[in-house]
Amino acid sequence: MKRYQVTFFPNKLNIEVPENENILKAAQMAGVYVSASCGGETTCGKCKIVIKEGIVETENTGKLSQEEIDRGYYLACATKIKSDLDVLIPVESRISDREILEKKKELLLYPESLKHLIKDWTLKPIVQKYFLELLAPDLQNNLNDLDRLLLFLEKEHKLKDIEVDFLVVERLSKVFRQDGFKVTVTILYAVKQIKLIYIEPGDTTKEHYSIALDIGTTSVYGQLIDLNKGRVVSQSSDYNAQISCGEDVITRIVYALKGKGAEELQGLVVKTINKIVIELLKDTEIEGDKVSHIVVSGNTTMIHLLLNVDPRYIREAPYVPTFNSLGPLKTLDFNLDINNYAYMYLMPSVASYIGGDITSGILGTGIYDEDKLTLYIDVGTNGEIVLGNKEMLLSASCSAGPAFEGGTIKHGMRATKGAIEEVYIDKTLEPKLVTIGKEKPKGICGTGLINIVAELLEKGVIDQGGKFHQGLGSNRIRKEGNFYEYVLCFAKDSAIDRDIVITEVDIDNLIRAKGAMYAGMSVLVAYIGISFADISRVIIAGNLGENIDIKRAITIGFLPELPLDRFTFVGNGSLLGARLFSLSQEKSKKAYEIASHMINFELSSYNKFMDEYMAALFIPHTNDTRFPEVMKRIKI
Amino acid sequence: MKRYQVTFFPNKLNIEVPENENILKAAQMAGVYVSASCGGETTCGKCKIVIKEGIVETENTGKLSQEEIDRGYYLACATKIKSDLDVLIPVESRISDREILEKKKELLLYPESLKHLIKDWTLKPIVQKYFLELLAPDLQNNLNDLDRLLLFLEKEHKLKDIEVDFLVVERLSKVFRQDGFKVTVTILYAVKQIKLIYIEPGDTTKEHYSIALDIGTTSVYGQLIDLNKGRVVSQSSDYNAQISCGEDVITRIVYALKGKGAEELQGLVVKTINKIVIELLKDTEIEGDKVSHIVVSGNTTMIHLLLNVDPRYIREAPYVPTFNSLGPLKTLDFNLDINNYAYMYLMPSVASYIGGDITSGILGTGIYDEDKLTLYIDVGTNGEIVLGNKEMLLSASCSAGPAFEGGTIKHGMRATKGAIEEVYIDKTLEPKLVTIGKEKPKGICGTGLINIVAELLEKGVIDQGGKFHQGLGSNRIRKEGNFYEYVLCFAKDSAIDRDIVITEVDIDNLIRAKGAMYAGMSVLVAYIGISFADISRVIIAGNLGENIDIKRAITIGFLPELPLDRFTFVGNGSLLGARLFSLSQEKSKKAYEIASHMINFELSSYNKFMDEYMAALFIPHTNDTRFPEVMKRIKI
């Protein structure tokens, strides 16, 4: 079969592929990130590219306007390669480079800094190193090497019933004799298991590290942790390379079920992780063989895909994952390039749509350990809600849809450079825009969407149903087809040479997204017979959470109306819990308890949810009394 | 590099090898068994071959006589291949084909037939299958698949704290839904561990098998066991393909320490095992995926080599093995072709020279469980001795040297067709020979050696020091160099066209071998302050054991003089114990107890042993009172 060179611009990344490969796959292989919410199904129309040079064969998907076709646009997933190609990824299809992820890096967190969230914990990592000085054998005591080691561990460290990895057996006789029977052993602790996983000559206890990983549907974050000091020594992140196989977990599952999709998805996320691991180590010049374990936190689908366990039944009712909790697994068995002995712990999940990332957030924020009632919200494509305290933990997930992440919005985009984040509308209805990176506007991110809708409502541009008021007399408001829209930025000022607008359809999408979230919270609150006012603290986690304007979010009825000081941002709760899991045996046990004690509500099968949802399809809500302060503002 | 075709006759086995490969290696690769006690070190001079056609380059090892060189003989290990070759393996270098091994096959053993040896045991295999009918999940109970399974096992079968192999997780969701949540799970029991290792749709409990393997230095024996019926359903055996890398454990260890020797040895024994497994299954048409485990019994060196664990320190004082006991290992990790989930249990060993084969024999014969005192002897190149009862078990090993297996004897050979097994000498000092298979004599096997020396002594041909009496006036007795010899068979009657003799050097080798064994037994008997007469039973195991003439063995002072009815043959004790281990959880636990409670004597560091050894270098013994009946016979 013929093979062709494809070069992707502006990054000039090059790849050789067989004839007839589609351009989306080629981009994927070249490591070029292209938006493709549907995972290459030709249905989302997002993976627009421009052919600068070369021959292709394309199918008509009806997803491109005549104007776009005239300008040389193609849909990458529907276009086959027929010669060497130069392909431009236009700005609207680009997933921006990594500056934004970099920006989101947390400050290095020391044990002390964790304490403001978690009441008390002691540094006792889940994998420990012990330095041992054994007696050499002689004819009077020629016990075999392994029993010599195990008896010593029992005598000196009270460690019994240790399982021994074969790797240790293989190395044992040599390592014993390399430094006169002085060795360092690495012992892994799991719930009901102690494993001897590594042995080295001499004393290496001072060099012991772990990696905490948050595998998100969009991004993967990693931290390298010094287990002696209990501190993060380097951080790295990247987009999850699965991103071009679909934007949300559902499209990923669909992708996994086709042909070799599952293997491909596993390969892609493993590639991302391996890249992050290399960067974490490079930054610090720490050797990979000093990393004894990684702790992986992610939603249930991401974890199934990482292990290449069939995710089919996560998506089909009654939504049954294959597993919630597994013991530590050898990283080597999953092609993770750490070293030949390291293990991977998985944060236990609760259900198909309450993953280990949520368990992790609950662990990291100490909610499970307090008298006071906390509401924990993780906002993304999927919204997860946990309500509880040390007595009880309830969870629910709402398929909010991708509106919060800029999806299904006409000019929606991720929260990267050029995204409109905030808007202020003056009396003449002219907007003042704030964009990420202060660049020319490219589109609207999730936070921006909330802020825009709140502003439109407060300034009387739209009504509580999300419809535009008539006759306001501004050229910014216009009708396109059946729906009105508001022009945030005319083509001349935008980075995409087109008007950037927010439409009634966009607003409706947001209302449904926030309605689902608010209804979910209402169901949990009602279930235990309290009102929102009884909640002492609301913790907001997740990507959107970090940038959200609480007041604006209350205005649109996404968050309950509570005093602002009850809201806390936790940033990446998933990574926070994974780190704590690695650093504390006691906390790691707690994680399994949290996951198994959490009571999950399948909202789709819960009648009360539908009532609450219908009631929440209004801004802020059909029941004014729930948002008295907002009502005051919007009535002005 | 050039490659040549080498054809080995008489079997016409063909192999292509690179130029300059030596012929011994080529034979090894072609699956042709050639004697090579030294493992290809050019020191034993056993691997004689004849080049029928082609060009070779050879070195002068001084191991071939001028006559042999004139007849076209070469030493395989010292001869490089320089063209296509036709090579004849002459009869004296051939390790005979498998008829003898076949002959040794035990009768199929049913549980009842084991009972005469082992007092009581119940059929409860170490790996069990359970058929489960689970409830399908619905929205009211959508617990994940794995927890659904584990909770059911806990509720219905009281099984807790089960470790789950990842293979099961991978298959779980599919298998659950293949036959309406009716599944068969395979559960492995280890000392402190319960593992879920396999899951299948439907009820497969009726098809469940294991394989017991005895890995000997020379031969490998296997039995396929029906775990529902507790009976052996097929048997197979073959030479250990490592045989051309040295005859005894010491030469194998030396071989392992050179270059890639250890990998090679592992590969060879794995090849042998895989061949046996195929035969076991083929004979019965049972599928490999119905075999849940194998139990491997072998000496400490064989087990180290099978796992490719460095055997170096087994050979060097203070003789420390890397391990005695390991938990079950995945067969797949060692390239054993059973299926993708089966485990391998290893019979635990006691010391470098008291291996799992001995533990197995003690388990299989129930010695550890009785009041009466038993002496267990396994005779081979290495002799192992165990003395004990339910109170205590003592063990010792004596490096008897290869005399018992026909090694170091001028015309020594293995117990295969044409080996002289027995001799009767008449008054004219003419011998009447009995050979295995009633073929023309080729040499003397171990049993034959004992019988010949006993006969020579009883008929007054040799004295108690093993020297020939002078002036007996027979042409059978003659002097070659400094030593006398007795011609058992003149060239015209032999299969090797040369006289077959027994020399004073051969007799001396036997005396040292039997002296070491007898001294070892004496040390153990003396240690607990008894005499041989206090021993209720002597069990003889091992290859030599099966064919030994007890009375003859007592005559030469190899076995203690006790009433003949106290001696029992157990055959392959190693395989017997391995089978019992597989069939009974209780007995498998016993095996670990036996191995850890056995007190082993390092005879080489035990002063009393040297005294006993010196005293035993006489036929039957320097102390006549230990062999009163023998003395009567030889004084006649």
- Decide if pLDDT at A405 tops 80: no
Region A70-95: what's the mean pLDDT?
A: 86
List B residues 342-381 in contact with A (Cβ-Cβ < 8 A): 351-352
- B38 has a pLDDT exceeding 80: no
Q: What is the pLDDT of residues B143-167, one digit of tens each?
A: 999 999 999 999 999 999 999 999 9
The end-to-end CA distance of chain B, in Å, is 70
Q: For residues A450-454, give the mean pLDDT.
A: 96
The Cα B192–Cα B207 span in angstroms is 26
pLDDT at A414: 81
Give residues with Cβ within 8 angstroms of A266, minimum separation 6: A305, A306, A307, A308, A334
CB contact under 8 A, B164 and A327: yes
Q: For residue B510, what are the contacts with CB-CB under 8 A and spacing of at least 6?
A: B403, B409, B449, B450, B453, B466, B556
Q: What is the mean pLDDT of residues A465-478?
A: 93
The minimal CB distance from B320 to the residues A144, A310, A319 is found for A144
pLDDT given for residue A41 in this prediction: 79
Q: Which residue of A has its CA nearest to B174?
A: A310
Share the mean pLDDT of chain B.
Answer: 90
Asked if residue A569 has pLDDT above 90, the reply is no
- A-interface mutation test, from B194, B320, B598, most A Cβ less than 10 A away: B320
Q: Is A144 on the interface with B (CB under 8 A)?
A: yes
Bridge partners (DSSP) listed for residue B4: B17
Query: Band of the pLDDT at B437, cuts 50, 70, 90?
Result: confident
For the residues B291-299, what does the mean pLDDT come to?
98
pLDDT band at B545 (very low <50, low <70, confident <90, very high): low
Cβ atoms < 10 Å from Cβ of B428: 8
Read off the pLDDT band of A100 (50, 70, 90): very low
pLDDT score, position A442: 94
Q: Has residue A266 got a pLDDT over 80? A: yes
Q: What single string gives the DSSP state of each residue in B136-189? A: PPBTTB---HHHHHHHHHHHHH---SEEE-HHHHHHHHHHHTTTTTEEEEEEEE
Judged by a CB distance cut-off of 8 A, whether residue A166 touches chain B is yes
- Say if A72 is an interface residue toward chain B (CB within 8 Å): no
Q: Pairing state of beta strands B329-330 and B343-346? A: antiparallel
- Decide if B351 and A193 are in contact by the 8 Å CB cutoff: no
Residues of B in Cβ contact (< 8 Å) with A324: 144, 146-147
What residues have CB less than 8 Å from A348, skipping those under 6 apart?
A324, A325, A356, A359, A591, A592, A594, A595, A596
Q: Are A560 and A532 in contact (CB under 8 A)?
A: yes
| B391 secondary structure, DSSP code | S
The CA-CA-CA angle for residues B17, B18, B19, to 5°, reads: 120
For residue A57, which amino acid is it?
A: E
From residue A578, alpha-carbon distances to A187, A260, A352 in Å are: 19, 30, 19
Q: Which of A222-236, A546-560, B37-51, B427-441 has the lowest mean pLDDT?
A: B37-51
- pLDDT band, very low/low/confident/very high, at A109 (cuts 50, 70, 90): very low
**What would the two tokens of residue A158 be?**
């009270």
| Residue range A472-498, pLDDT digits in tens | 889 999 999 999 999 999 999 999 989
For residue A586, give the nearest of A271, A3, A118 by alpha carbon.
Answer: A118
How many angstroms separate the CA atoms of A413 and A393, rounded?
A: 34
Q: How far is B365 from chain A (nearest CA, A)?
A: 26
List the single best residue of B316, B323, B395 to mutate versus A (max A Cβ within 10 A): B323
**Does A597 reach chain B within 8 Å, measured CB to CB?**
no
Q: How far apart are CA A556 and CA A569, in angstroms?
A: 19
Closest chain B CA to residue A322 = B145
Helix/strand/coil (H/E/C) assignment for every residue in A147-176: HHHHHHHHHHHCCCCEEECHHHHHHHHHHH
User: Please, what sign has the CA dihedral across residues A137, A143, A144, A148?
Assistant: negative
Cβ atoms of A303 and A334 within 8 Å: the answer is: no
> Given this model, what pLDDT does residue A582 score?
97
Q: What is the DSSP code (8-state) at residue B32?
A: -
- Residue A32 — very low, low, confident or very high, per pLDDT cuts 50/70/90? confident
Across the interface, do A164 and B602 touch by the CB < 8 Å criterion? no
pLDDT at site A245: 92
pLDDT at residue A119, rounded to an integer: 58
pLDDT in tens, B563-606: 998 998 888 889 999 999 999 999 999 999 999 999 999 998 88
The residue assigned the tokens 């994927």 is: A28
For residue B105, pLDDT beyond 60: no
Nearest CB neighbour to A142, from listed B146, B308, B319: B319
* Residue with token string 């095992």: B273
Do residue B142 and residue A602 have CB atoms under 8 angstroms apart?
A: yes
Using DSSP's 3-state secondary structure scheme, residue B95 falls into: coil
Q: Specify the pLDDT at position A401.
A: 67
Is B332 an interface residue toward A (CB < 8 Å)? Answer: no
Q: How many CA atoms lie within 13 A of B311 on its CB side?
A: 29
- Dihedrals φ, ψ of B301, to 5°? -65, -45
Segment A274-293 mean pLDDT? 94
Query: Rounded to whole angstroms, what are the CA distances from A568 to A267, A537, A556, A576, A620?
Result: 36, 7, 19, 15, 21
Best CA proximity match to B242, nearest among B294, B303, B293, B322? B303
Asked whether the whole model's pTM tops 0.90, one would answer no
* CA–CA gap between residue B359 and residue B593 (Å, rounded): 10
Lowest-pLDDT range, A30-44, A127-141, B293-307?
Answer: A30-44
Alpha-carbon distance A144 to B314, whole Å?
9
Confidence of residue A508 (pLDDT cuts 50, 70, 90): very high
* Among the ranges given (A171-175, A205-209, A540-544, B297-301), the one the predictor scored with the smallest mean pLDDT: A540-544
Tell me, what's the pLDDT at B66?
Answer: 84
Evaluate the CA torsion angle B151, B154, B160, B165 in order and state its sign: negative
Residue with tokens 């005591």: A141
For A132-146, A179-193, B34-48, B360-374, which range has the lowest pLDDT when averaged over its residues?
Answer: B34-48
For residues A348 and A346, what is the distance between their CA atoms, to the nearest angstrom? 6
Confidence (pLDDT) at A117: 57
B636 has pLDDT over 70: no
Q: In this model, does residue B562 exceed pLDDT 80? A: yes
Q: Quote the minimal CA–CA distance from A297 to chain B in Å.
A: 18
Residue B99 has pLDDT above 50, yes or no: no
Segment B341-387, tens digit of pLDDT = 999 999 999 999 999 999 999 999 999 999 999 999 998 778 899 99
| Minimum-distance CB partner of A322 among B161, B169, B351 | B169
Q: Measured between CB atoms, does A395 come within 8 Å of chain B? A: no
Kindly report the average pLDDT of chain A as a whole number.
90
pLDDT band at residue B112, thresholds of 50, 70 and 90?
Answer: very low
B28: amino acid identity, one letter: Q
Note whether B187 and B196 are within 8 A (CB): yes
Partner residue opposite A318 with nearest CB, options B139, B307, B308: B139
Residue recorded with tokens 């160099």 = B481
Interchain pair B142, A174: CB under 8 A: no
Euclidean distance between CA atoms B14 and B29, whole angstroms:
10
Main-chain phi, psi angles of B347, to 5 degrees: -65, 130
Is residue B635 predicted with pLDDT exceeding 80? no
Please indicate whether, in this complex, the C-beta atoms of A174 and B146 are within 8 angstroms of each other: no
- The answer to whether A529 faces chain B, any CB pair under 8 Å, is no
More confident residue, B569 or A560: A560
Instruction: Give the pLDDT band (50/70/90) at residue B119.
Output: low
Residue type, position B529, single letter: G
- Which chain B residues are within 8 Å of A143, Cβ to Cβ? 320
Structure tokens at B320: 């420390």
Please state whether beta strands A85-88 and A3-9 pair in parallel, antiparallel, or not at all (unpaired).
parallel
Instruction: Give residue A571's pLDDT.
Output: 80
Question: If we measure between CA atoms, which residue out of A18, A15, A48, A46 comes closest to residue A32?
Answer: A15
Q: Answer positive or negative: Cα dihedral of B494, B499, B504, B509.
A: negative
Mean pLDDT throughout A194-222? 96
Residue B470's contacts (CB-CB under 8 Å, 6 or more residues apart) are none
Residue B586: which H helix or E strand, with range?
helix B585-597
Residue listed under structure tokens 């292209």 = A34
Residue A528: strand, helix, or coil: coil
CB-nearest to B144 from A166, A312, A320 is: A320
Q: Count other Cβ atoms within 10 Å, centred on residue B400.
A: 25
Which positions 312-331 of A are in contact with B (Cβ < 8 Å)? 312-313, 317-327, 329
Inform me whether the C-beta atom of residue A192 falls under 8 Å from chain B C-beta atoms. yes
| Sheet strand arrangement including B500-503 | B477-480, B483-489, B500-503
What is the DSSP code (8-state) at residue B119? S
pLDDT at site A31:
74
For A169, which of B140, B320, B326 is closest by C-beta distance? B326
Query: Do residues B548 and B517 touch, judged by C-beta distance below 8 A?
Result: no
- What pLDDT is stored for residue A198 in this prediction? 98
Distance from CA of A321 to the nearest CA of B (A): 5
- Using CA atoms, how far apart are residues A365 and A374, in angstroms rounded to an integer? 10
A22/A18 Cα distance (integer angstroms):
9
Q: How far apart are CA A239 and CA A357, in angstroms?
A: 17
Q: According to the model, what pLDDT value does residue A283 have?
A: 79
For the four alpha carbons of B472, B489, B485 and B71, in that order, the dihedral sign comes to positive
pLDDT in tens, A576-588: 999 999 999 999 9
Where does residue A564 rank: exposed (0-12), middle (13-18), buried (19+ CB within 10 A)? exposed
- The string of DSSP letters for B612-635 reads HHHHTSSSS-S-GGG-HHHHHHHH
**Pairing status of strand A393-398 against strand A599-601:** parallel
Mean pLDDT of A131-138: 96
- Could you tell me which chain A residue has the CA closest to the CA of B321? A144
The ipTM, to two decimals, is: 0.87
Chain B residue with the nearest C-alpha to that of A320: B144
CA A142 to chain centre: 54
Q: How far apart are CA A453 and CA A443, in angstroms?
A: 15
* H or E element, residue A273: helix A261-284
Q: How many Cβ pairs closer than 8 A exist between chain A and B?
A: 128
The percent of residues in chain B predicted with pLDDT above 70, rounded, is 94
pLDDT attached to residue B508: 95
Contact flag A322-B173 (C-beta cutoff 8 Å): yes
Name the pLDDT band for B101 (thresholds 50, 70, 90).
very low
